[in-house]
Amino acid sequence: MEQGKLIKAINSAISNLEDSAKALVEKNEKGVLGHVWQAAADSEYALFLFSFMQPEDFVGSSWKLNFHLKKVEVGPAIVLAQDLLEEAKKSLKNDDLHEAYKKTWMARDYLLRVWNMLQDIELKKAEERKR
């Protein structure tokens, strides 16, 4: 499989995280939500592409069991996910597929957590408007 597609997906996720950080600074909540969702989708696609490369090495990795997210805040989690994806890209260029997969998987988990938090905030605001 061509690594170009994988790098393109990771780059797209990084770009969307940059846009989400800008939207966060501008207090554009819907922009943050949309860009985080797209970055999570790009990360998920990258993980899907990894599964074609060496699936037996990635399934059931012990580090997944030890990876537990604590309470995260939106801004720092976005930055951390972006850093993890940058590290994944470097690992990929160094042909360290396992480390690239691990960093992408971790970034995706942060993004899903952020997206869920933002969704909860949007739901609470919608309920408040109804009252």
Domains of the chain: 3-130 (1.20.120)
Q: Enter the tokens of residue 110.
A: 């942060």
Question: What's the pTM value of the predicted model, to 2 decimals?
Answer: 0.85
Return all residues near 90 (Cβ < 8 A) that are at least 6 apart: none
The Cα 74–Cα 80 span in angstroms is: 10
Q: What is the pLDDT along the chain (131 residues), one digit of tens a residue?
A: 578 999 999 999 999 999 999 999 999 988 999 999 999 999 999 999 988 887 565 555 555 555 556 677 889 999 999 999 999 999 999 999 889 999 999 999 999 999 988 888 888 888 888 87
